[in-house]
Amino acid sequence: MFRSAKVVMESRSLEVHLVDGTYELFRHYYALPSARDRNGREVAAVRGVLASVLGMIRGGATHVAVATDHVIESFRNGLWPGYKTGEGIEPDLLAQFELLEEVLSAAGLVVWPMVEFEADDALAAASTIAARDARVERVIICTPDKDLAQCVRGARVVQLNRRTRVTLDEAGVIQKFGVSPESIPDYLALVGDAADGYPGLPGWGAKSSAAVLAKYVHLESIPPDWREWRVNAAHASALAQTLSDERDRALLFRTLATLQTGIALFDDVDELEWQGPRPGFEELGARLDAAATVAKKGNDGAR
């Protein structure tokens, strides 16, 4: 299955695919039956991600990079004690993180294992760099994570959920969240993000946050006096009081939600072009091919 990854790639407009490797690993871990290699190591999720990414290439993707969380913790853990950690991740899943990076690199893909920053930061930074190249018609950020919606620009930088096959351009982000991409960090600061471990502000739900931010865009621009808002937000007086009382926390949560785009990952999109597998991939591919299916896992812990 994996021993020969060479494919014929058709000539087409230059698109850059940026893949959230951590999400893909979680997704495949909970979707696939368990499989262990000859050493008893769980490899099903890695095998699934590899097949999926190579499938993208067979489908015509030419410039592909994968960002991973080499460790779950990042600089954000120093800002907010409740921020997500690796605690509670199943050992068989956690043990596949480094293997995924090794296998994808051997397959000839560009991989960015993140330590200080998160995979989401790498995707944001890479989309910014790629979008500067006039040759690039479209940058496709492959993840359903809502914080990546802040990176969407028009129809040129879009977000793709590969599981549901739904693509969000800027109009799609506005339709889904009620705010433009530039307001997504402010929106998440108010409503919170349970997956990342910060709660948002009490009373600020999705509808009220979208109504206010659709008009004022950023937290600083929201008038302290709710009577000036003139938007359809329930209990506006209480919301204004909460925002006043917890403004510092809201700004902190926005910092947590704001992705870092200044990370130097590559200089030229040509560096992301897939050139075929590297030496050693055949052996790794054979090892994955030989893994024995053990038992079906549930999907209750899907990320």
126 has a pLDDT exceeding 80: yes
Q: Are 114 and 97 in contact (CB under 8 A)?
A: no
- Per-residue pLDDT for 72 more than 70? yes
How far apart (Å, rounded) are the C-alpha atoms in residues 122 and 260?
8
In whole angstroms, give the CA distance from residue 209 to residue 137: 33
Angle at 69 between CA 108 and CA 267, to 5 degrees: 55
Task: Provide the percentage of residues in the chain whose pLDDT is more than 90.
Answer: 89
Q: For residues 277 and 107, is the Cβ–Cβ distance under 8 A?
A: yes
pLDDT tens-digit map of 255-268: 999 999 999 999 99
Tens digits of residue pLDDT in 28-46: 999 999 999 999 999 999 9
Coil, helix or strand for 186?
helix
Q: What value does the mean pLDDT take over residues 113-125?
A: 98
pLDDT tens-digit map of 51-71: 999 999 999 999 999 999 999
pLDDT given for residue 11 in this prediction:
42
SS3 75: helix
More confident call, 84 vs 293? 84
Query: What is the CA angle 22-161-178, rounded to 5?
Result: 115
* Separation of alpha carbons 33 and 303, rounded Å: 17
Q: Residues 204-257: pLDDT tens digits?
A: 999 999 999 999 999 999 999 999 999 999 999 999 999 999 999 999 999 999
- The pLDDT score that the predictor gives to residue 293 is 84
> Taking 60 as the threshold, does the pLDDT of residue 194 lie above it?
yes
How far does the chain reach from its first CA to its final CA, in angstroms?
Answer: 27
Residue 7 has pLDDT above 90, yes or no: no
**pLDDT value at position 295?**
63
Phi, psi of 35 (to 5 degrees): -145, 135
Give the residue-averaged pLDDT of 117-145.
98
Spacing of C-alpha 259 from chain mean position: 10
Tokens of 297: 């896992």
Running DSSP on this structure, what letter comes out for residue 5? -
Task: Compute the Cα dihedral for 180, 185, 186, 191 and give only its sign.
Answer: positive
**How do residues 148-183 score in pLDDT, each as one tens digit?**
999 999 999 999 999 999 999 999 999 999 999 999
Higher-pLDDT residue of 16 and 10 is 16
pTM: 0.92
Angle, CA of 142, 205 and 199, to the nearest 5°: 70
Res. 98 pLDDT band, cuts 50 70 90: very high
Mean pLDDT of the chain: 93
Per-position DSSP letters for 230-298, written without gaps between them? -S--TTHHHHHHHHHHTHHHHHHHHHHHSPP------S-GGGGB---PPTTHHHHHHHHHTPEE-----
Give the closest residue to 301 by CA, choosing from 90, 142, 97.
90
* pLDDT for residue 302 is more than 50: no
CA-to-CA distance for 44 and 30, rounded, in angstroms?
Answer: 10
Res. 10: pLDDT tops 70: no
